[in-house]
Structure formats: structure tokens, C-alpha cells
Amino acid sequence: MSKREKGILIVMALAVLYGGYSLLAPSTEPTPPEATTQSLQDVEGFVLGVIAELPRFSLNKTEEYMIAAATAPWGGNPFLKVTLEENNIPDKLSATVPEPKVPLVYSGFIELGDRRLAILNNREYEPGDALEISGYSLLAVYPSHVELKWLDSDDVRVIPLEEFVRREDNLNPPKK
């Protein structure tokens, strides 16, 4: 250890010892009782002043509404669990509907109240929206599939939900 480091450690140890002494050593002069009563009267005056000013600070309508809304019970479960119907995909596929140039992937849906959004090719669509692929529009959204309408005809194409499942047994083992 160099001389500089030793000097820093000695100064630090002296500072810690002096701090401990000043904290633990009893005070030699007692506080006069008059100063204590005066400080108590100052505190009482301050508290009474604050209490007198409190009615001036009232909540406005927005703050009252926010407090009432925060304490009100929820209308519904925000973490609603939706179950998918098993093998409930209708056979509405028409032979006259051409295959799209880009494959359509229905990867999920979002349910917001009574509205459902479909996620097709990583984009959100509502029923009635035209898809980026020309000629198709979204007809209906279901948890297990979506129905697409071709142009102005009644021909419907059904796209099932593609579930992406990661299997643990397919993971690459660590290399040695």
C-alpha cells in the first residue's frame, strides 16, 4: 500500500472516530426549559395556521371524479380469458375465390369491449376494412378463424388461426 493510500485511510478513520464520538458523547450543556416552551408555541402556531388554511384548498370537479372512479369497482374483468372453439371452422370457401399472391396468416385477435380486431400478416383490421391485398375485405372475426370477402361478390374465404407454439424439446442442446 502506498503512502498516499495510508494517509487517506488514516484521515478517514479519524473522521469516523470523531463522528462516533460526537454522536455518542453526552451534551455538556442542557437545553433551557424556556427555549423548549417557545419552540412548542411556534409549532402550535404553525399547525393552527395550516389547519385554518385547509378549507381553502378544496378539490375541483375533475379531481373528485378521478377519486370516485379510482375507488369504484371494475365493470368487467380486464383480463378476460377467451377460449377457442375446437374445430368449429365453417366450410364457406368458394372455388371461385382466387388464391392471394401473398399467403395470409391470421395470428390472433384483439377484443376491445364489443369490437374485435383481427391480426392478419402482422396488421390489425376491423370487420369491413379492406386488406392490403387488393380485392379482399374482412367480413367477420372469430377466435378460431376470420372470414374474408372477395370484391363485391358473396364469395368468402376462411383463414384459420395459426397458433405459434414453441416446443421445449426442439431447442438446440448447448455445444460442448
Confidence class for position 95, pLDDT limits 50, 70, 90: low
**pTM of the predicted protein model:** 0.41
Give the per-residue SS3 of the chain.
Answer: CCHHHHHHHHHHHHHHHHHHHHHHCCCCCCCCHHHHHHHHHHHHHHHHHHHHHHHHCCCCHHHHHHHHHHHCCCCCCCCCCCCCCCCCCCCCECCCCCCCCCCCCEEEEEEECCEEEEEECCEEECCCCECCCCCEEEEEECCCEEEEEECCCCCEEEEEECCCCCCHHHCCCCCC
For the chain, which domains are there? 77-167 (2.30.30.830)
Q: Residue 11's pLDDT band (boundaries 50, 70, 90)?
A: very high
pLDDT exceeds cutoff 90 at 79:
no
**Looking at the predicted structure, is the pLDDT value of residue 22 above 90?**
no
Q: Residue 117: which pLDDT band, with cuts at 50, 70 and 90?
A: very high
